[in-house]
Structure 1
Amino acid sequence: MAEGKEEDVKLGANKFTERQPLGTAAQTDKDYKEPPPAPLFEPGELSSWSFYRAGIAEFMATLLFLYITILTIMGVNRSTPNKCASVGIQGIAWAFGGMIFALVYCTAGISGGHINPAVTFGLFLARKLSLTRALFYIVMQCLGAICGAGIVKGFEKGPYERSKGGVNYVQHGYTKGDGLGAEIVGTFVLVYTVFSATDAKRNARDSHVPILAPLPIGFAVFLVHLATIPITGTSINPARSLGAAIIYNRDLGWDDHWIFWVGPFIGAALAAVYHQIVIRAIPFKSRA
């Protein structure tokens, strides 16, 4: 019997069996051995070129992400009063989701393709990377976002100012609580998808079902934007909000800014807890 099956029996996962084995009950001999958690501090990383290369990849990916998405927002806003003459809200959502798909695909093999401090935070809580690397990624992501928004403003300052710099803020008719809730749930959807799409145990078990991890991640970003653009403009990415707010630098970008850090970090933490404890049951397995 495979190790995974033995663990599931100890946990009672197979007490009431299915006629057709499902989920973790459908383990094969290709089962996956859980790697040890990443150390909290990894001083050796600081002398490794791969560490800095990963940070540069996160910087460039976030720069390109802000550049394309803010330009898309500007294009839609210039089409007033008839936004249907442009790509509209659906096009903005596609721009965000499509860029995440492309950039995660490009950088996954170098840095893991986080491009988002909330994703980095969630993976850190799950001990997928060290605190050293997590802090470095977040700094590089924020710097990349600032540069990406700065390039847009440098190219098209007039349209940029008229489009309010693509900053996130709680839209008229919604409360700050509405905005915070939308950011928490939206980030939960994103980070939960990241965990599921990159779960090596799932890939080992379901190797007969090929999956391109960036695709569901990008699609999750697209769907969350469709749902929450009318509420907050959709952040689910603190670096995206910070870069836009710093370069636009008006009260509109700062009044609700705390929401776009607190909300995504809470959502990411909930997703990490849900995936590690409920879906993977890792603490119980280690105890068993």
Structure 2
Amino acid sequence: MTRELSAEFIGTFTLVTAVCGAALFSAPSAGLIAVAFAVGLSVLAMAYAVGSISGGHFNPAVTCGLVAAGRFDSSRAIQYIVAQVAGGIAAAVVFYIILQGAPAAGKWNTFLAVSNTYGGPGFSLLSVALIEIVITALFVLVIVSVTSPGAPAGFAPIAIGLALVLFHLVAIPVSNASLNPARSTATAIFGGSAALGSLWLFWVAPILGGVIGGAVGKWLHAAYVGGPTNP
């Protein structure tokens, strides 16, 4: 189990490294496309690198969704989630330190700007909750589907990584695209009271979406036995 938890820590560390590095430093000049591709490519790379060890969740919502899909043992879920959150926080600490050394004349984002929030000058709680539920449900559905027995072998990380790029392009303008409570927790710690006050939603909405996506994926692929079956 130690190897699996280490893989989840490393994978989530890499994902949050992509979020922080791209959102803090690249996004002010390159825009949201840089963040979307950084996150998607990080998951693609780590799914190939350590996915065979832990399953490559890197996300509490994915873990919960895979439990709902019958693809993961619920007794191991809490350990996975703790490892994921720890990996995300470790990456955020690294980038918090790096940000302290940024030149004053540069154009950088703050941790609040890259955190997930709702209300105030941004989108409402309902809008943010809805987009997070929908995109996380679709993301987990993709994961369940491309790792099913009928999917082409070896291509799952590519589909998962590209799906994550897609959903970030859709959601960054609305919610800064969480889909992942570990990612939201990591940046909120350094984002101040506004980010911490919004954090509950970025646990509830992605996990709810993940469970929905897992349940739908389980139903869609339940009849598969060696090949597609007619209804």
Q: Same fold (TM over 0.5)?
A: yes
Aligned positions, number? 218
Q: Which residue of the partner structure matches residue 269 of structure 1?
A: 211
Q: Which residue of the partner structure matches residue 73 of structure 2?
A: 130
Q: Which residue of the partner structure matches residue 182 of structure 1?
A: 131
Letter aligned with residue 195 of structure 1 = V
Q: Which residue of the partner structure matches residue 226 of structure 1?
A: 169
Relative distance call for 1:165 and 1:144 in structure 2 (3 A) is farther
Q: Which residue of the partner structure matches residue 197 of structure 1?
A: 146
Q: CA deviation at 1:108?
A: 1.2
Q: Aligned pair 1:216/2:164, yes or no?
A: no
Q: What are the superposed Cα offsets for residues 229-284 of structure 1, whole Å, 9 maximum, x if unpaired?
A: 011100000000011112x05112112211111111111111111111244258xx
Unaligned runs of 5+ in 2: 103-107, 225-231
8 Å CA contact 2:5, 2:83 repeated in 1? yes
Q: 1:76-115 alignment to 2 at 5 Å?
A: 76=26, 79=28, 86-115=29-58
Unaligned runs of 5+ in 1: 1-50, 80-85, 204-208, 283-288
Q: CA deviation at 1:96?
A: 0.9
Q: Which residue of the partner structure matches residue 252 of structure 1?
A: 194
SS at structure 1 position matched to 2:84: helix
CA–CA distance in structure 2, aligned partners of residues 113 and 210 of structure 1:
16
Q: Which residue of the partner structure matches residue 164 of structure 1?
A: 112
Relative distance call for 1:145 and 1:173 in structure 2 (3 A) is closer
Q: What are the superposed Cα offsets for residues 79-135 of structure 1, whole Å, 9 maximum, x if unpaired?
A: 4xxxxxx22111111111111111111111100000000110011122222223211
TM-score normalized with structure 1 length: 0.71
Q: Which residue of the partner structure matches residue 69 of structure 1?
A: 19
Q: Aligned pair 1:280/2:230, yes or no?
A: no
More contact order relative to length (CA 8 Å, sep ≥ 6):
2
Q: Which residue of the partner structure matches residue 3 of structure 2?
A: 53
8 Å CA contact 1:58, 1:137 repeated in 2? yes
Alignment identity in percent?
A: 32
CA–CA distance in structure 1, aligned partners of residues 8 and 80 of structure 2:
7
Relative distance call for 1:151 and 1:231 in structure 2 (3 A) is same
CA RMSD of aligned residues (A): 1.9
Moved more, 210-219 or 108-117: 210-219
Q: CA deviation at 1:170?
A: 2.2
